[in-house]
Amino acid sequence: MVQESNIVVCGSARVGKSTLINALCGKELAKTSNSLSSKTDQMEKYMLNRDYISSNEASNSNESQYSITIWDTPGIESWTKEHVQEHISRIMLKSNPVCMIYCASPGSFARLDQLEWIIESSIKSNIYCALVCTNKYSGGKQSREQLLKDFHSLLSRYRPMTKNENNVKYYGDAALCATVNSIPFEDEDRGVEKGVEGINELLFGITSSLKGDKLIAWCHTIADNESFWSAMANQLAEVYKIARPIAEEVLQNHGKDIAKALIPFIIRAAFK
């Protein structure tokens, strides 16, 4: 049995959507570019196929195939009401996503009323909404703080903030906002060098917020991200009440197969 799921990454052009997709998945799926022109000029889709224990058959140790499509959307150049609503509505109708990840960099342009429409549409459609400040060091601290303030203001209109942990703000089971640096950042003029930051925390935030079949689809989407599963295994064990000895055994003995070893435990916990 094949179970199909979709995840959408959207936002303005040149904010690092494709780079974020690669960072989340732990492998190079999406085309990226350092040029000032947008690399993604049409809707791209990337397929991931997995064979793991399914939610309905976990107790029998049977396997089902999961097919996950990641939609990498064109940068929205014309931020008119009609353009944005047509673009996002088409995405939702075409893919019915588990998760909508909206990307913006400090100083990037987006009309907040249109972003509010995206958030409202996602939440009403029961689509988890992650607002992500990408390229967090590119525009300076003031621009970054303003972007996060805008994110918080918009999300608070629909859900109260319930937790602020590891630079991730949670808004119940509906949304979060976070900051990431998907690839190393260097500014020679300012003498600034920063490594990859915030990816594991973002992944953990989404993982711990999703439920049921959506959680399963998300886990299989990020199954190849060895860094996440290794770094966050203990935190995942705590959230899903996996016994500490089991978590330690997985870390010590499963190497690159940590995800494959942990996901069945997460599935069982999610459906108890």
Question: Residue 120: inside a domain, yes or no?
Answer: yes
114 vs 60 pLDDT, higher one: 114
Looking at the domain assignment, is residue 236 inside a domain?
A: no
At residue 63, the pLDDT reads 52
In a domain, 8, yes or no: yes
Domain count, the chain: 1
Q: Is residue 47 part of a domain?
A: yes
For residue 226, tell me if it sits in a domain.
no
Cα–chain center distance at 241: 23
CATH of the domain at 8: 3.40.50.300
Q: In this structure, is residue 125 part of a structural domain?
A: yes
Which tokens hold the place of 270? Answer: 């999610």
Domain residues for 91? 2-209
Q: Enter the pTM of the model.
A: 0.87
% the chain with pLDDT above 90: 33
Alpha-carbon torsion angle 48, 50, 54, 60, nearest 10: 170
Half-sphere exposure of 100 (CA within 13 A, CB side): 26
pLDDT at position 66 is: 80
Asked if residue 246 is part of any domain, the answer here is no
pLDDT, residue 186, reads: 73
